[in-house]
């Protein structure tokens, strides 16, 4: 693996190409009269892995495609969820998605249970998507769907407040500026579809996630402030209640995370939560050059899923 955390983080996004994945798109309705676009790569398996991408990602990101390919190779079907507005089509509601919004994941799982014929279901999430999965499992505790046998999460900002402030530091501005630029594109699309409901007036004054979340995320989703959103959406307070065997992997050199994002005590106190902190890996990086093109994170995830 590369030993530079920024190279680990940026290299896959710029240079990794994953071939051989041919998705079949499926659109499902949500209870609030909106929709979710799901991309499936199947091998006629009885086992399904549901994959959640990170902030402003989608099913075409290399880290999703790499995981899908590795799963298919091991005899798993894969279902990559595009969060609202991330599938290339603007969703119908003003709301989009956030780090702690678990209702859409529940909608996907409920759809799979009701309409598919799988004997086993796994959840895999990256960064924001990992936070959603961990919070979802903690919220449901022992009431989680029995079909869900295991879960894996990578590079999770378990403490959203500390991570948000950390990304505002000068060393991490390159990431923050990119996220804010991508989010503005989404807002402008919504402005065209929903005139008068949202705007980007003086958007250039927004320099931090706090300013973005205070202006957009908090009011749209009913939080009183960015801090209120971060506190209620962070997965960390929910980890103690996870009852499904779950692997959380966050690299020690992750530039997005602070010490409070590594739930060491929570993992010690919950025998179902397994925390691994490799020395290198960056944020959703874990670059490893194998002859088959598989990254370390993909091999490790499937090893955990199949460990009996």
Catalytic residue list: 127, 254, 283
Residues listed for the chain: 308
226: three-class secondary structure by DSSP: helix
CB-based contact 200:99 (threshold 8 Å): no
Alpha helix stretches (DSSP H) within 59-194:
62-73, 103-115, 128-140, 160-167, 173-193
- Quick one: which of 130, 165, 159 has its CA closest to 55? 130
CB-based contact 208:230 (threshold 8 Å): no
How far, in Å, CA of 77 to CA of 92, rounded?
A: 29
How far, in Å, CA of 199 to CA of 178, rounded?
A: 19
- Quick one: which of 141, 55, 67, 167 has its CA closest to 101? 55
CB-based contact 164:263 (threshold 8 Å): no
254: three-class secondary structure by DSSP: coil
How far, in Å, CA of 33 to CA of 232, rounded?
A: 25
The DSSP letter of residue 216 is I
Phi, psi of 137 (to 5 degrees): -65, -40
- Which residues does 25 contact at the CB level (< 8 Å), separation at least 6? 37, 38, 39, 40, 87
Lookup result for tokens 């961990």? 134
Paired with 26 in beta bridges are 38
CB-based contact 81:51 (threshold 8 Å): yes
């Amino acid at each position: 693996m590369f030993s530079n955390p920024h190279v680990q983080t940026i290299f896959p996004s710029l240079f990794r190409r994953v071939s051989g994945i041919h998705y079949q798109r499926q659109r499902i309705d949500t209870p609030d009269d909106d929709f979710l676009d799901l991309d499936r790569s199947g091998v006629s398996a009885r086992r399904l892995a549901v994959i959640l991408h990170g902030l402003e990602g989608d099913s075409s990101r290399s880290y999703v495609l790499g995981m899908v390919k590795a799963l298919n190779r091991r005899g798993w079907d894969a279902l990559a969820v595009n969060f609202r507005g991330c599938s290339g089509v603007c969703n119908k509601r003003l709301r989009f998605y956030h780090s702690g919004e678990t209702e859409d994941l529940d909608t996907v799982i409920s759809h799979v249970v009701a309409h598919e014929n799988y004997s086993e279901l796994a959840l895999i999430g990256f960064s924001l998507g990992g936070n959603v999965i961990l919070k979802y499992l903690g919220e449901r505790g022992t009431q989680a769907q029995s079909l869900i046998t295991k879960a894996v999460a990578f590079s999770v900002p378990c403490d959203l407040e500390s991570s948000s402030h950390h990304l505002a530091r000068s060393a991490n501005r390159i990431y923050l500026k990119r996220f804010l630029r991508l989010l503005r594109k989404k807002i402008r699309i919504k402005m065209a579809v929903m005139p008068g409901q949202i705007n980007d007036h003086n958007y250039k004054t927004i320099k931090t996630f706090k300013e973005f979340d205070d202006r957009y995320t908090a009011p749209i989703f009913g939080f009183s402030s960015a801090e209120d959103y971060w506190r209620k959406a962070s997965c960390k307070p929910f980890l103690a209640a996870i009852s499904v065997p779950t692997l959380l992997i966050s690299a020690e050199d992750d530039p997005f995370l602070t010490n409070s994002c590594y739930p060491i005590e929570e993992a010690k106190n919950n025998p179902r939560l397994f925390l691994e902190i490799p020395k290198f890996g960056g944020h959703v990086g874990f670059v490893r050059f194998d002859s088959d093109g598989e990254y370390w994170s993909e091999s490790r995830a499937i090893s955990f899923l199949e460990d009996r």
